[in-house]
Structure 1
Amino acid sequence: MTTIIYMVRHGESPKVGNERTRGLTDKGEQDTIKVAESLKEEGVEVFVSSPYTRSVETIRGLAEYAGKKVDEIEDLRERVFASGDTRISDEELLPLLKKSFADPNFSLPGGESNAACQRRAVAVLDNLVRTYQGSKIVIGTHGAVMTLMMGYYDSRYELDFLLQSSKPDVYRMEFNGLELLGIERVWN
């Protein structure tokens, strides 16, 4: 039985603020309409998201179009790079990402490693595929956690992929049971 997962990376968000509560920029809000338009005919039945505001907001319009609500799942949150909820600047983040993808067990004090983030997020993905077999599911997500989930099934999804992905971005993962059949970018 085929299950389809649409990984929807959140739209553009402000570069300052609290990690959990940062919303979307004007461009990010406009892109939510494009996300909804691009997937509204797919017949998505289940909508789950990271609890971070920018991820929920990116898929909310699509869920409302389908007459559904977005279920927030804590273990879909973005990788925790350091203690606290303040955003790390891009200049600080790039060296951390490079080190994290070179050593999946690397973490800063109070943060988590790529390996730990991947375990928690893949457990959610596995549970969704088991619970909603034969369904179409949208996951509102973040760049690093999306890359780690997809990379669990296909090693091509690593740091270079993450750095080249856009905000928003949409990938379609097709499963037969728990076996990944393929991943395809569906965002233009």
Structure 2
Amino acid sequence: MSTIVYMVRHGDSPKEGNERTRGLTEKGNEDARRVTELLRDKKIDVVASSPYLRSILTVEKMALQIGKEVEVIEDLRERVFSCSDNRLEDKELGPLLEKSFVDFNFSLEGGESHAACQKRAVQILKELLHTYKDKKIVIGTHGAVMTLMMNYFDPSYGLEFLYSTTKPDIYRLEFNDEELVSVERVWDQGRILLDSGGLMI
């Protein structure tokens, strides 16, 4: 048996606003419904999420579908990039990410480093793998923290991978205990099928 983790990066959200309370745009809400459809037949056992609203909203319909509440976990939050509660501009975020993937201990004043973010998020992931061993877990997440969790198990997941992801996105991770066995992107395939009116697989 193996434990399956579906990393679900949140859908499109407003460019401005508080990091914790920014929700989803109209497109983001529509894509959240698609996420639910795509995972409908995967026999999910538990749904966990970052405490940020956009992540919760992306996976909460999935939780309702299996008759459970989203397990909101503080340490699954996105990397805290600065002391501000608001989203960094892309022109600031890009160089910060590039420098951070070179030096995992780099951070802006009042923010956290890649190393610190990875440590607290991976600890939670390992706890989930232990608690729900041989089960299927959905995690509502964000681009950077998702990449850092995957990077811990396989260093090939870095900046290039992060830039290749979309909002939303879904990756199926298979674990044997704490060993990452395989990774498969689910969202792109499912999105194409949904757009064409095809059957879900």
With structure 2 as the length reference, what TM-score do the two structures score? 0.92
Give the counterpart letter for 2:139 in structure 1. I
Q: In 2, Cα distance between the equivalents of 1:50 and 1:84?
A: 18
Task: Return the alpha-carbon distance in structure 2 between the equivalents of residues 58 and 156 of structure 1.
Answer: 27
Who is 2:105 aligned against? 105
State the AA in 1 paired with 2:126.
Answer: D
Counterpart in the other structure of 2:151: 151
* Whole-Å separation in 1 of the counterparts to 2:90 and 2:61: 28
Query: C-alpha distance in 2, partners of 1:176/1:102?
Result: 29
| Aligned residue in 1 for 2:191 | none
Q: Cα distance, 1:24 vs. partner?
A: 0.3
TM alignment of 1:13-162, pairs within 5 A:
13-162=13-162
Please tell me the residue identity of whatever aligns with 1:161: F
For 2:178 and 2:162, the matched residues in 1 are separated by 24
How many angstroms apart in 1 are the aligned matches of 2:46 and 2:158?
A: 27
Q: Secondary structure of the equivalent of 2:19?
A: coil
How many Å apart are 1:75 and its aligned residue? 0.2
1:84, distance to aligned residue in structure 2 (A): 2.5
1:29-66 per-residue CA deviation (whole Å, 9 max, x = no partner) reads: 00001000000100001110000000000001111111
1:9 is aligned to: 9
Cα root mean square deviation, aligned: 0.6
Amino acid at match of 1:21: T
- How far does residue 22 in structure 1 lie from its aligned partner after superposition? 0.1
Instruction: Structure 2 unaligned segments of length 5 or more: list them.
Output: 189-201
| Structure-2 separation of matches of 1:46 and 1:81 | 29
Normalised TM-score (structure 1) = 0.99
Identical amino acids, percent of aligned pairs: 61
Which sits farther off after the overlay, 174-183 or 130-139? 174-183
State the SS of the aligned residue for 1:175. strand
Aligned residues: 188
Gaps of 5+ in 1: none
CA offsets, 1:123-149, max 9 Å, x none? 000000011101000000000000000
Q: Give CA-to-partner distance per residue, 1:127-179, whole Å, 9 cap, x none.
A: 00011101000000000000000011111210011011000000001011111
The ranges of structure 1 where at least 4 consecutive aligned residues each deviate by more than 4 angstroms after the TM superposition are none
Partners of 1:106 and 1:21 lie apart in 2 by 26
Residue 68 of structure 1: how far off its partner (Å): 1.1
Q: Distance in 2 between matches of 1:182 and 1:152?
A: 14
